[in-house]
Amino acid sequence: MQKLIYGALVGCFLIVGNSQKAQAQLLSSFTNSSSSFVFIDKAITNLPSIKLVSNRLYNSNAAMILTEKCKAIQFKYAQILDREIEAIANISLFSFVDEWWRTRYRYGGTTKKGIDCSAFTRLLQEEVYGFELPRTAREQYAACEKIADEDMMEGDLVFFNTRGGVSHVGVYVGGGYFVHASSSQGITIDNLDNSYYKKRFISAGRVEEGERIDPINAG
């Protein structure tokens, strides 16, 4: 039984994204000092994207819950994005999206009570990728390196002219889809080929490496 749990846990960790903050939260969620435990050995501590203290013990029940949560998120967003479940690899990203899913749009908002497009992209970039962005869509556009449509990668920003100039922003999640704070649907995922967004698309932008921050120690 422990071997099965161990294998599932390793698989889940292998697909967790780059966010150190998200990793720390996930790890702390199943650290426990009671009941049955699974030993996490040096094979996992040597993974480049995961920093564990060697010789730590983790509760197997919590590990199983974590693995099931990963699978549920993969299944949900594979359906939304029309791709293979295995292609939903950045669990950190889609966990963040899922946490905010359908949060209503509110101009100037920054919380679960209501959030606008640039506040959402700013928070996602900070918590998932460790990048710090300015507050508004126009400022974020100015801070990005502009990239060609065919070079877009998961995590890039996508900018639109919805009411004059750069007035809307989202985050590209691959396959032509982007997540954003829609004024009508709240946090949702749409396709760039949607006639409304296709007509208003300005360009994609990539955050410069110099904008990277430490999401764990950020104030």
Instruction: List Cβ neighbours of 35 (8 Å cut-off, separation of 6 or more).
Output: 59, 60, 61
Q: Within its chain, how far is the Cα of 161 from the centroid?
A: 24
Of 12, 70, 117, 144, the catalytic one is 117
How far apart, in whole angstroms, are the C-alpha atoms of residue 31 and residue 203? 43
Give dist(CA 82, CA 123) in Å, integer: 26
- Is 117 known to be catalytic? yes
168 tagged catalytic: yes
CA dist., res. 96 & res. 196, Å (int): 26
Please tell me the distance from the alpha carbon of residue 2 to that of residue 163, in angstroms, as a whole number: 56
Q: Using alpha carbons, select from 94, 101, 99, 114 the residue that is nearest to residue 155.
A: 94
Can you give the C-alpha Rg of the chain in angstroms? Answer: 19
Separation of alpha carbons 61 and 201, rounded Å:
46
Q: Return the bridge partners of 145, or none.
A: 206
Please pick, among 12, 70, 144, 180, the residue that the annotation labels catalytic.
180
Cα 173 from Cα 110, distance rounded (Å): 21
Catalytic positions, written as ranges: 117, 168, 180
